Structure 1
Amino acid sequence: MEGTQEVKDGAGRESSAGDAISTVLLVFAMQAEAMPLVQTLNLTEDDEPSIFPKALPWKKYSGTHEGLTVHVVVPGKDLKLGVDSVGTVPVSMLTYASIVSLHPDLIINAGTAGGFRAKGAAIGDVFVATQFANHDRRIPVPVFDEYGIGTLAATPIPNLVKALELKEGKLSTGNSLDMTPQDEEIIKANDATIKDMEGAAVAYVANLLAVPLIAMKAVTDIVDGDKPTVEEFLGNMSRAAAALSATIPRVLEYVNAKSISNL
């Protein structure tokens, strides 16, 4: 967004790129990714009634940080199997419902990701996504193939990146933790530095509803390394979550009361 261009958000309100940021929505996929930040910011879980339908496992934690209203949402546990509801479908539903209910000025999709050593990623690095794309929506029909990849640019935040000395890279999203040869080919075509299981879905919803989005991903595993992905992912989850809980408060302090166009 440039200057004070008028847009409509998901609730149909007129908003402006020149408006000061006062409410931030943080979308996580996993409880273990979110809780260190929830504790760092001293956020509290919603009391009943929740803004979400009672039957859903979604959770919301809210509070203030340096005068900024902050909401953290996670899809919660699968009702049948009791594991985190990861993947694009749960997070896209959660993001839509949260935007409509909470009217955020800015969304931060935070979480973990695999990183590519060949692109400069290392365990514990926190990357800001510059672009979102999918690598597992293969539709080999003209135009539908581009729709499947679904490339979207992230909200430009050059001043924030420079001020906090953050790393940047393109993000590729798929619904599997592992990577097939076809996935690898498309990820390379997407020029991705990091890969996850949610980012492009959050970007799709944010783009539809014209809400600015930042994605911040901490690297848990090196995709092009020599260690098993699952072993690295589980072994480094706590380290990655700690990196996020250290970095995101600094981001919140920087964006507070600024306009999107000044980020």
Structure 2
Amino acid sequence: MAVNGDRKVQTVLVLVAMEAEAMPLINILDLKEDIPQRIPPPAPAVSYSGSKHGIEVHVVRNGKCQLHGVDNVGTVPAAVTAYLAVHEFKPDLVISVGTAGGFKSKGAAIGDVFLATAFANHDRRIPIPGFDKYGVWRVDALAAPNLKAALNLKEGVVSSGNSLSYSQEDWDQMTAIGAAVKEMEAAGISWVAHLHNVPFIALKSITDIVDGDRPAQEEFLENLHSAAKALQDVISPVLEFVAAKSIKDL
């Protein structure tokens, strides 16, 4: 996407799907829940605001499903939350933060934090000319080589889908796009960022190994706490690095 490289980062929007991922970030950043909510009902999103390293920081999680009482996950809630939050907070930079599966063939290990280089869908298969590329929706992340180097982050393509498990067709698509990370939100958010021409990056902490030999749900539940802690450890240094810098200097 074409963004204004001279734009200074003064307001950062951090989007998180699950409460278990969001609360460690909110606590370490000492943010307060917005009351009344700045993203009003019926949207279930919950926002928290404050300042850190001299910039405005807003963390928004997707909230809970009214029917089932669990976190709203997947690309649809992520895109809806992102759209409403971008309109409300008008950020200079959007960051998708969350846990994910990683590919050991791409160097991923449990607890690693990856910086996205691009976003794509692996489960939107539309075999019609034009719609095929639209379905995959591959788009580059904001290039942030200085941030990667400063924090010693791993990097790779983030692939999104709406299932924790995957089919053979999903696997083939993830292989084709060179996915290093598999998760359920970032491609949806990237569509919103593209619409609004706002710089977008993603930080994903690895809970499970996609090309490993254990069921993803077992590893996810086993490693969710430690992966969330890895995100907690990285978020403040990331915000400190981006604060008041020009987009082109990231």
- For the criterion TM > 0.5, the same-fold answer is yes
Choose which of 155, 158, 170 in structure 1 pairs with 2:157. Answer: 170
Partner of 1:160: 147
Which structure 2 residues correspond to residues 1-263 of structure 1 after superposition, within 5 A? Answer: 16-48=4-36, 50-263=37-250
Summarize deviations over 1:111-141 as a string: whole Å, max 9, x none: 0110011111000000001010001000011
Inter-partner Cα distance in structure 1 for 2:78 and 2:215: 26
Q: Residues of 2 paired with 1:20 and 1:53: CA distance?
A: 28
Q: Distance in 2 between matches of 1:80 and 1:123?
A: 32
Distance 1:196 1:189 in 2: 16
Q: CA deviation at 1:53?
A: 2.2
TM-score (norm 1): 0.93
Mapped partners of 2:79, 2:43: distance in 1 = 14
Q: Distance in 1 between matches of 2:218 and 2:7?
A: 44
2 CA distance for matches of 1:130 and 1:146?
18
Q: Quote how far apart the aligned CAs of 1:59 are.
A: 0.1
Deviation at 1:19, TM superposition (A): 2.4
Letter in 1 for 2:235: I
1:12 maps to: none
State the TM-score, normalized to the length of structure 2: 0.98
Letter in 1 for 2:198: V
CA RMSD of aligned residues (A): 1.1
Whole-angstrom CA distance in 2 between matches of 1:205 and 1:141: 24
Structure 2 residue identity aligned to 1:117: K
- Once the 2 structures are TM-superposed, how far is the Cα of residue 57 of structure 1 from its aligned partner? 1.8
CA distance in 2, matches of 1:108, 1:22: 14
Stretches of structure 2 lacking an aligned partner (at least 5 in a row): none
* Ranges of 4+ aligned residues in structure 1 off by more than 2 Å: 53-56
| Residues 193-229 of structure 1: per-residue CA shift (max 9 Å, x gap) | 1100001001111011000001000000001111111
Shift of 1:42: 0.7
CA distance in 1, matches of 2:95, 2:117: 13
**1:155-183 deviation per Cα after TM superposition (whole angstroms, max 9, x unaligned):** 01011111111110111110000011110
- The one-letter code matched in structure 1 to 2:72 is S
% of aligned pairs identical?
52
One-letter amino acid of the counterpart of residue 26, structure 2: V
Provide the rounded CA distance (Å) in 1 between the counterparts of 2:62 and 2:169: 29
DSSP-derived class of the 2:8 partner: coil
